Structure 1
């Protein structure tokens, strides 16, 4: 691997991480020089990373002006939230008739980590663990097609979590309390109770009403 390629890869992952965490918010215009100086590298690998991020839809490039971080589209939160609801409730219905010991241990561990991060005020790490909490029971259902589709939403979901935590002033303690109730419904095999709690949880966090569910 060449030095230029490795620098471009590092620039790509660093800038994308800033977008997903909300450190580079949607609508912000950034320059190659600015990012290159922050990362201690030349403009060339940064330019390559910007081109890659534009291809993926995270940035829009304007010659001689810079790169615009593409804001979250107006209806993306609604679409992602509805898709998540369908996949997560389906996964829990499948789990209701299987051995849930392993996933329950994973959820318990996640809840402990969430409390730790909430006390530390580390919202970026909390957003990641939040997303992983939900992903855990989707994977545990054992349907690779649902898991693959859910993972395709992961980056959008993480960015939405970061935006909600940073901009909407979401109470992490309230999120943890809801996660605890979701885990309890999974433990008891109550898929209907889980579905009701999940709809309320997603509405509270993302401000999206799950109509007709």
Structure 2
């Protein structure tokens, strides 16, 4: 009975190490350039070195870590150029998706979900829950892209998600006033979509994304 359970336990430990480090990187608790000790992480979360190494390999494959011969695992910084590229692609994908939502008459399908997210963000903003606000932020934009039923747009948006979350955390922790500003932008985006005004959506989105430029 012990043999079959070993891979499951190892896999669970690897997932735990992966989730722990990934969350710290995205939240900015581990800034770019930070070296991460395998031994220290093993003691911190109570796992052996093998699952930690496996987690590092996964994070390196996602471009969140670089594995260096002498330093070991180092958090990969996001350069200003990379951040600009991410924002450019994010705006293009979402603007195109919103246009399709309006053109295909599906705005009413997603509006209730967007309104619920706005209410949740308002509560998170009022209570200073930055983590929850940022999580719902990603869900809001993802819901609009998903409503387009463009599978390629959804795939690319998912590819960009971790990088976008790093930018959001950096901006909103550096400038807490951005929570309320972002919420107002989201309200304007939802209103434009509900009104079937794709041009207005694109205009608001462009200004919304511009607030992230220079965050790094």
Normalising by structure 2, report the TM-score.
Answer: 0.88
Match of 2:106 among 92, 99, 106: 99
Distance in 2 (alpha carbons) for counterparts of 1:107 and 1:27: 37
Offset at residue 69 of structure 1 (A)? 0.5
Distance in 1 (alpha carbons) for counterparts of 2:61 and 2:148: 33
Distance in 1 (alpha carbons) for counterparts of 2:135 and 2:90: 16
CA root-mean-square deviation: 1.8
Q: Does 1:50 align with 2:56?
A: yes
Offset at residue 48 of structure 1 (A)? 2.0
Aligned pairs, number: 208
Instruction: Tell me the residue number matched to 2:184.
Output: 177
Distance in 2 (alpha carbons) for counterparts of 1:46 and 1:159: 22
List alignment gaps of at least 5 residues for structure 1. 209-213
Distance in 1 (alpha carbons) for counterparts of 2:129 and 2:41: 23
Offset at residue 120 of structure 1 (A)? 2.2
Distance 1:93 1:119, change over 3 A: same
Distance in 2 (alpha carbons) for counterparts of 1:29 and 1:168: 26
Match of 1:201 among 201, 208, 215: 208
Residue correspondence of structure 1 range 50-129 to structure 2 within 5 A: 50-63=56-69, 65-97=71-103, 98-129=105-136
Offset at residue 152 of structure 1 (A)? 1.5
* SS of alignment partner, residue 168 of structure 2: helix
Distance in 1 (alpha carbons) for counterparts of 2:85 and 2:154: 17
* SS of alignment partner, residue 47 of structure 2: coil
Instruction: Tell me the residue number matched to 1:2.
Output: 8
Distance 1:99 1:12, change over 3 A: closer
Offset at residue 199 of structure 1 (A)? 0.7
Normalising by structure 1, report the TM-score.
Answer: 0.90
* SS of alignment partner, residue 189 of structure 1: coil
Kindly report structure 1 stretches of 4+ aligned residues shifted beyond 4 Å: none
Distance in 2 (alpha carbons) for counterparts of 1:81 and 1:106: 24
1:27–1:71 Cα contact (<8 Å) kept: yes
Offset at residue 50 of structure 1 (A)? 1.4
